[in-house]
Chain A
Amino acid sequence: MTDLSIEYCGMKLQNPTILASGFLGVAPLTMKRVEKSGAGAVTTKSISAIERQGHNNPTVVANEHFMLNAVGLSTAGADHFPEEWDELQIMKIPVIVSIYGDSIDAFVEAAKKICKFDIPALELDMSCPNVSKGGLEFCTSEETAYELVSRVKQVAGNVPVIAKLGPATHLLVEVAKACEKAGASGICAINTMPGMVIDIEARKPVLHFKSGGISGCALKPIAVNCVYKIYKNVKIPICGTGGITTGRDAIEMIMAGATTIGIGTATYYRGVDAFKKICKEMSDWMKKNGYKNLEEIRGIAHEPFANAKAPGK
């Protein structure tokens, strides 16, 4: 059997698939179900310092090409995290806790409350397109990204900090480098791409928030491009996220340079068993092509010569 185990930001995973933030991550028992379905780790829905309702519906729509969502970062708030963390002790796989804030101070406040607990990693949702404040302004400026990550690092103690970046900027590489410099242990790339669908009979955008984030199949080439560019320029590991629905997609993302694979919208297309299915497909492809582990394929799309096989360990 192919070895899909991987280490990511200090966490030892049995396979590289990680439930992306925003999917199935509200209730601990739902995340347990994701664990049973074969995920290597899960990411919680983003938690902010205060309770947030999120937007009215429609919040999520989808077709065969993409999903469009503007859930709007609904969360019970960090004050309820103690009981949630208590319930999450049922999890055997790592639970990455995602946080959000509408200002750097708000991020720091959430981080302070969350990092009191023994969490394996903290992911910063600093690129959400579905909020009026606290979204895209953090991942489109090197200075802001640097300040955010370093200030969170100051209160996070030993907890590894992962910066989740978005695609809607020409400064993605600079922002990723700034996050690395500020002490991020990993980069999650990418969050959703801003988009909109207008229903012409309704004469209105379909989402209540009007714009939303595109995920799913249409996002994949955008995500692969982002991961490829970031990998060239940072040393910290990348969780490649965006439109991965099959084992082949996962291999593609790993060849671009990803260490782990974020899986979200695939659960829409293939059910919660997407994790199991993708791992099997990865394993089958690797066996067929003579690869024993993920290190042998990571980043090989960057090599100058075609058909170059990465040397085994």
Chain B
Amino acid sequence: MKNDFRKCDDFPQMVKITKIVDESPTAKTFFLDCGMNCEPGRFIMLWMPGIDEKPFALSYLGKQVGTTAVLRGKFTQALFKLKPGDMLGVRGPYGRGFSIKKGQKALVVAGGIGVTEVMTLIEELKKPTVILGAKTKDELVFEKKIRKHAKELYVTTDDGSKGIKGYTTDVMADLLKKEKFEVCYTCGPEIMMTKVLGLCNKYRIDLQASLERYMKCGFGICGECALDDSLVCLDGPVYYKDEINKLTEFGKFARLKSGRKVTLQEYFAGHG
């Protein structure tokens, strides 16, 4: 009977920060003395003792994993004060990651900090086309790295400070008129991803999107990260097109820390 019990190792492990890299004026990658090799798109729960613990994408895999954060609120403010040699608590990896089918012509659409979720995916895919967008030039992350791995890279900024002025989805809409793709992978602001979904439905392209909701346990039992009848930490964070099309809350509702269901605007206003 005990054979179907999960591997139960869900306490944070304190690991040293080995290196901190400035990826942009607002983003830093924290390399940790902790090895993980898993599918791209899985996440870890990162603990700063005395402060909080939050889900973070693994932007670098291997013997020393890396996680990239953007300066936003209390948690990242405290995180950015840390130095190599300081310790962070890590547990995971958690969730369902991206799946890659050999030989599929892939398009990756990454918006803002969402690029940290798809970076390892881009490296694993064979020369995908990538659309990378941010609000402004200073918020573009991993541009150089992606250029090395992509067949074609389109850069967009909302304010036109670099690349094409406009949204990633504007470029995606134009691109799909002339080029055919078999699969699209995306992570970014949920508003952006609803547009990506619309285009993938229109052009009948497979889609895998990395979603997020406020998390507490991170391993599928507290129920806080509910998205319709799924749990983002357990059934996601990667969702397939058919699944997303059935969701009533995607692009519309999310739950606050208290569990109260609110509009997406209110959710992002509160959670930054």
Residues in A lying within 8 Å of B, measured CB to CB? 22-27, 29-30, 32-33, 45, 51-54, 56-64, 69, 71, 74-77, 80, 197, 199, 201-204, 206, 208, 245-248, 264-265, 267-272, 277, 281
Contacts and interface: CB of A to CB of B under 8 A. Distances in A.
Decide if the interface of chain A is mainly helix, strand, loop or mixed.
loop
Decide if the interface of chain B is mainly helix, strand, loop or mixed.
loop
Contacts of A76: 256, 258-261
B272 interface: no
B179 interface: no
Contacts of B219: 60, 62, 268
Contacts of A30: 223, 226, 229, 231
B53 A57 contact: yes
A201 B14 contact: yes
A25 B89 contact: no
A242 to B, nearest CB: 16
A58 B89 CA distance: 10
Given A27-B226, A27-B229, A268-B219, 4 more contacts: A27-B261, A59-B217, A62-B10, A203-B49
Contacts of A57: 45, 47, 52-54, 215-216
B51 interface: yes
A54 B216 contact: yes
A284 to B, nearest CB: 10
Contacts of A62: 8, 10-11, 219
A53 B257 contact: yes
Contacts of A247: 1
A248 B2 CA distance: 12
A63 B8 contact: yes
Interface residues of B, number: 43
Residue among A32, A203, A247, A269 with most chain B CB within 10 A = A269
A268 B216 contact: no
A32 B229 contact: yes
Contacts of B226: 26-27, 29-30
Nearest to B89: A202
B12 A74 contact: no
Nearest to A22: B222
A32 B14 CA distance: 37
B159 interface: no
Residue among B53, B215, B259, B261 with most chain A CB within 10 A = B259
A265 B217 CA distance: 12
Nearest to B50: A204
A25 B226 CA distance: 10
A33 B258 contact: no
Given A51-B258, A197-B11, A208 B53 contact: yes
A247 B2 CA distance: 11
A208 B260 CA distance: 21
A53 B53 CA distance: 15
A53 B258 contact: yes
Interface of B: 1, 4-6, 8-14, 45, 47, 49-54, 87, 89, 91, 215-224, 226, 228-229, 231, 255-261
Contacts of B49: 199, 202-204
Contacts of B52: 56-57, 208
Contacts, number: 143
Contacts of B50: 204
A211 to B, nearest CB: 15
B258 A74 contact: yes
A240 to B, nearest CB: 19
Contact of A26 (B8, B54, B91, B224): B224
A279 to B, nearest CB: 13
A63 B223 contact: no
Contacts of B45: 57-58
Nearest to A278: B1
B47 to A, nearest CB: 6
Contact of A202 (B8, B87, B256, B258): B87
A56 B53 contact: yes
A80 B6 CA distance: 35
30 contacts: A23-B223, A24-B223, A25-B223, A27-B261, A30-B223, A30-B229, A32-B229, A45-B223, A54-B216, A54-B257, A58-B45, A59-B216, A62-B8, A62-B219, A63-B8, A63-B11, A64-B5, A64-B8, A74-B216, A74-B257, A74-B258, A201-B13, A202-B14, A202-B47, A202-B89, A203-B49, A268-B6, A268-B219, A269-B6, A270-B5
A243 to B, nearest CB: 13
B229 A277 contact: no
Residue among A56, A246, A271 with most chain B CB within 10 A = A56
Contacts of A197: 11
A63 B9 contact: yes
A72 B90 CA distance: 22
Nearest 9 Cβ contacts at the A-B interface: A201-B14, A76-B260, A57-B53, A27-B226, A60-B217, A29-B229, A26-B223, A64-B8, A202-B49
A75 B255 CA distance: 11
A270 B5 CA distance: 5
A244 to B, nearest CB: 12
Contacts of B256: 53, 76
Contacts of B222: 22-24, 26, 59-60, 69, 71
B216 A71 contact: yes
Nearest to B216: A59
